[in-house]
Amino acid sequence: MRKKVLLGMSGGVDSSVSAILLQQQGYEVIGCTIELWEKNGENKSIDDAKKVCEKLNITHYVLNYKKEFKCNVIDNFINEYKNARTPNPCVECNKNIKFGILLQKAKELECEYVATGHYARIEYSEEYNRYVLKKCEEEKKDQTYFLYSIPKEELKHILFPLQNYSSKQDTRKIARENGLQVSEKKDSQEICFIPDNDYKKFLKENINQKIEEGNIVLKTGEILGKHQGLINYTIGQRKGLGISYKEPLYVVGLNKEKNEVIVGTEKNLYSKKLYATNINWLVFDSLNSQIECYAKVRYRAKEAKAMIIKENEKIKVEFEEPQRAITPGQSVVFYDKNGIVLGGGIIK
């Protein structure tokens, strides 16, 4: 009997090609698309996924989880900005929606595996004596940064069919060769529930509180001008500050209590230390003392040598070299020397 796998399908090229690859590997594939939000474009994605499933002769389910998505992802996104933090909605979506819901549905359908079109690897590690999440070979395509929050006990039930592919051209070629209409479909934007990518406009329309002006101040306390509301600024920002100074200035901090945007020179952006909470470990149950690792403070950042030190319910991360624009609300993800994800958490 063929093993059953529930495949999360967005209607895009990656998840569609994943269906083909899984079939070629001998699995019985069931497609599943999750309705997440009330905006133009989602129905098109559902229709595209349905057409792919019809073409490949696989069953397709559509699950309505708009309420859960709003609560766990959209509301969290808004509340984090309210608190002068910069969230990563993809991390929350993977944790609470994509893998949480898909894994639950897979059990209902008696599927042994869940699969998605992410670029990442899962393999058994003799060193850690368990299944591990590992970077794919092509650094630019690797998406493990967004996946660290998957429960470690579920890794053995997850498949990433694209783990050996590093080029979108390759996946599009497979889609064309199999007659899939989505072969030339554009990649989705970064934040799915903000179709025009204008997150500032989205926040102004949905934040449900008055956005107040305040002072832009130097780290020394000198007032340089007025800001247009904390939600319009993030750590590392240089453009759009509307102030003049003898040298370039960047946002280096946001003070919610004083409603201040704090600015400084580029050297003020660098720090060798951060604290993180909401830690999810993937290779062990808890951190007993401290370990060396490579840590990454944003998706496009390079991993850097660091020491992780346990401090009660949070951890301290001390880098060997200063890191640029460490941003509260973003994730810090830890890797070993072989690219295996040790775990990660949210930067305080």
In angstroms, what is the C-alpha Rg of the chain?
22
SS3 at position 115: strand
Cα–Cα distances in Å, from 303 out to 58, 225, 277, 295, 337?
40, 36, 19, 5, 10
Name 290's bridge partners: 309
Is residue 87 within 8 A of residue 80, CB to CB? The reply is: yes
Query: Which of these, 249, 203, 196, 265, lies nearest to 229 by C-alpha position?
Result: 203
Residue 117 neighbours by CB under 8 Å, 6+ apart: 8, 10, 12, 13, 14, 15, 16, 17, 18, 161, 162
- Cite the active site residues: 93, 192
- E-strand ranges in the chain read 4-8, 28-35, 59-64, 113-115, 121-125, 130-134, 158-159, 214-218, 223-227, 250-255, 260-264, 270-281, 290-296, 304-311, 314-324, 331-335, 341-347
Residue labelled with tokens 């319009």: 232
